[in-house]
Amino acid sequence: MKKQIKNSSKNDYDYINAIGLIWIHINNETQEYWDTLCNSSSKNNEIFKIIKEFQKKCTYYLKPNKIVYRARGFKNSEFDDLFNTKPWQDLYKRLKAKIPLEKFNFAYSDIKTFFNYLPFLSNYNEIKDIYNEWCSDYQDVKFWGFDKANSGVNYSSKNKEGRLNTKKQHCLYVASNIKTAVAEIRPINGQNISVAEIKILKPLKLYNFTKIFDTFKVENPSKYLTFHYIAQMCSLPNYSDYEYYKPTQKISKYIENLGYDGIIYPSSLYTKGENILIFENKCIEYDCDKEFATFEILNSNVYIVQNKNFKIEQYKVIH
């Protein structure tokens, strides 16, 4: 019996080694395809062939009423403008009048510092009544962060090229949940973030790079492993070199030409959610064209990133 177990373990070990060697070979081969894609847009590239071959398996429809999220960090001037609005100034006056100066003196230097520390005062019971009354007085306010015009697609001439868009393409990047949206902008601890809530209004046909295949139950595992390599490259973050995005931009354009409205791809920064790109021709906001609109920006809220474990606190939620 012990001999059988020993032999079995050895066979399993040899099998795993074999799979590892196959993966290294496929990875090197795929890297060659990828390098070729950097220098050419030929549709004969193996990357494009695999994307087209997996079309049927990877087609996903984002349904109407689905809620997605877009995050934006504040520049200093933008953050100053936010807290100069009436609701925030009013809350500042109400809370400042209630919180004992000797207990929270560090938070009184200016309104921005005060609200930076507001999440840390969340257990201070005396301010809850003031906060709830304030919420009631301003319950009709929907945009606490950036306004609607600045919470959607960036149509300015300063639009930057991204993972799946060139500088001239004005696409909408959103995420399936708040934490993924915030993670994707790579915030630092203590940074203030505006998160917009967006409702999908029409079915959107998306190419799904988060599709999981069981590579051990298919006839040609190498193609599936190559597919996972493509998905991984579409999700890896880039910190400075926009040339790094050239292959994924070409992939994005190729998928758009196949008749898709956008792409779903994994998040490498927060694995419990997905990223979604909506192509420019489908980026139609409700206020711009009610008949053909594909999405509506519902509201925005302000969050603060509190620690390295990526806990975020919403300014509006104190208790």
Domain ranges of the chain: 2-72+147-314, 76-137
Q: Tell me what pLDDT residue 221 has.
A: 74
As given in the structure block, the two tokens for residue 264 are 């779903």
As given in the structure block, the two tokens for residue 255 are 């998928």
Residue owning tokens 């071959």:
53
Please give the C-alpha separations between residue 143 and each of 7, 147, 184, in angstroms, as whole numbers. 65, 6, 21
pTM of the full structure: 0.81
Nearest to 141 by CA among 319, 290, 318, 316: 316
Q: Tell me what pLDDT residue 212 has.
A: 76
| Mean pLDDT comparison of 99-113, 117-131, 137-151, 296-310, highest-scoring range | 137-151
- Out of 17-26, 205-214, 256-265, least confident range: 17-26
With a pLDDT cut of 70, the percent of the chain lying above it is 73
DSSP string, 230-251: HHHHHHS--SS-GGGGHHHHHH
- Out of 43-47, 137-141, 280-284, least confident range: 43-47
Nearest to 253 by CA among 239, 243, 263, 265: 263
- Checking if the pLDDT of 232 tops 50, the result is yes
Interval 49-70: pLDDT, tens: 999 999 999 999 999 999 999 9
